């Protein structure tokens, strides 16, 4: 039987855990594993393990990570597929994937798996930058130059993926700018039911998301350039406040 058949036979259930670099995905995944019996698969960890293993792709992956770039989907998907098949569990938190449209479409195409939902950690860039600069885990990409590149990739390539799932009503947003235990309280609500959407797509506390949300709710025709929580200028909003990074309810 091929990999798709085996994943199907296992009845694999997947939750994508997304959010900017340093928003706390890994930290909260550890809590979810402890309380909800999932297996945590971090795409970044799998790629770093691949470098360490001395694989043929190692140098390419290392260079991409140093530049904050997204590794070709086929490489990451193979690692995820292998990890899911080798693990006895059937419930997986896939952290840091899909990172762009190519990741998303290729994963669906190759595995035929649709996520149960997407857990999105919403956090301002200022806070994420502070966290990454003090993470101290010896990661090559936790330096200010690469961090800025990762933020840019997140805004340009990863947020559209969250928008895609939001349009399918699959995103559960958590305000990740609060202390770890408070964030986990919201995570627990998101997980309290698998099929029922418990948290709304609320904006969290980051100023950018809150502003987007207010505009969307009021359906205010705006053509303003907002200052994003990243401290950069956000793209102009269209007639109904639907900005590049905003979700419509």
Ligand X SMILES: Nc1ncnc2c1ncn2[C@@H]1O[C@H](COP(=O)(O)OP(=O)(O)OP(=O)(O)O)[C@@H](O)[C@H]1O
- Binding site membership for CMP: which residues? 103
Binding annotation: 22-27, 48, 69-71, 96-99, 103, 135, 139, 150, 178
CB of 123 closer than 8 Å to CB of 206: yes
Assign 114 to helix, strand or coil.
coil
Order the strands of the 91-95 sheet from edge to edge. 39-42, 91-95, 13-19, 117-122, 171-175
Strand ranges (E), 140-193: 171-175
Nearest distance from C-beta of residue 241 to ligand L45E5XJ5, angstroms: 30
CB 229 within 8 A of CB 207: yes
SS (H, E, C) 90-105: CEEEEECCCCCHHHHH
- Closest by CA to 150, choosing from 135, 172, 171, 169, is 135
Site for ligand X in 91-120 (CB under 6 A): 96
Residue 60 burial (CB < 10 Å; 0-12/13-18/19+)? middle
What is the per-residue binding string for ligand L45E5XJ5 in 97-136, x denoting contact by CB under 6 A?
x-x---x---------------------------------
User: Distance between the two ends of the chain, CA-based, in angstroms?
Assistant: 41
Q: Which residues pair with 19 in a beta bridge?
A: 121
Cα gap 5→1, rounded to integer Å: 6
Residue 24 contact among ligand L45E5XJ5, ligand X, none, beta carbon within 5 to 8 Å by kind: ligand X
> According to the binding rule CB under 6 A, does residue 138 interact with ligand X?
no
Nearer to ligand X, 123 or 222 (CB): 123
Of 106-114, 177-185, 198-206, 235-243, the window that binds ligand X (rule: CB under 6 A) is 177-185
Which span (7-15, 25-33, 191-199, 233-241) binds ligand X, by CB under 6 A?
A: 25-33
Contact between 180 and ligand X by CB under 6 A: the answer reads yes
Nearer to ligand X, 177 or 234 (CB): 177
170 makes contact, choosing from ligand X, ligand L45E5XJ5, none, with CB < 5 to 8 Å by partner type, with none
Q: Is 204 in the site for ligand X (CB under 6 A)?
A: no
The one of ligand X, ligand L45E5XJ5, none whose footprint includes residue 229, by CB under 5 to 8 A per kind, is none
Query: d(Cα 237, Cα 212) in Å, to the nearest integer?
Result: 9
Q: Which residues of this chain interact with ligand X, rule CB under 6 A? A: 19, 21-27, 44, 96, 131, 135, 179-180, 183
Q: Which residues of this chain interact with ligand L45E5XJ5, rule CB under 6 A? A: 21, 42-44, 47, 64-65, 68-71, 76, 96-97, 99, 103, 141, 150
């Amino acid at each position: 039987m091929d990999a798709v058949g085996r994943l199907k036979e296992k009845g694999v259930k997947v939750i994508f855990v997304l959010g900017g670099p340093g928003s706390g995905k890994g930290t909260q995944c550890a809590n979810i594993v402890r309380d909800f019996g999932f297996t945590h698969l971090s795409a970044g960890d799998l790629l770093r393990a691949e470098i360490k293993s001395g694989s043929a792709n190692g140098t390419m992956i290392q260079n991409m990570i140093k530049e904050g770039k997204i590794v070709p989907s086929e490489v990451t998907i193979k690692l995820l597929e292998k990890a899911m098949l080798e693990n006895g569990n059937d419930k997986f938190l896939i952290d840091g994937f899909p990172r762009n449209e190519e990741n998303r479409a290729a994963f669906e195409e190759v595995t035929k798996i649709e996520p149960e939902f997407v857990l999105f950690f919403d956090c301002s860039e200022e806070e994420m930058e502070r966290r990454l600069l003090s993470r101290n885990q010896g990661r090559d990409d936790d330096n200010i130059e690469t961090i800025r590149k990762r933020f840019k990739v997140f805004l340009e390539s990863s947020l559209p993926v969250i928008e895609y799932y939001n349009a399918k009503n699959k995103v559960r947003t958590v305000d990740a700018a609060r202390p770890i235990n408070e964030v986990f309280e919201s995570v627990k609500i998101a997980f309290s039911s698998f099929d029922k959407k418990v948290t709304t797509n609320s904006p969290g506390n980051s100023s950018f998301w809150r502003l987007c949300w207010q505009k969307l709710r009021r359906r205010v025709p705006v053509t303003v350039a907002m200052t994003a929580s990243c401290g950069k200028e956000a793209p102009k909003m269209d007639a109904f406040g639907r900005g590049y990074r905003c979700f419509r309810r």
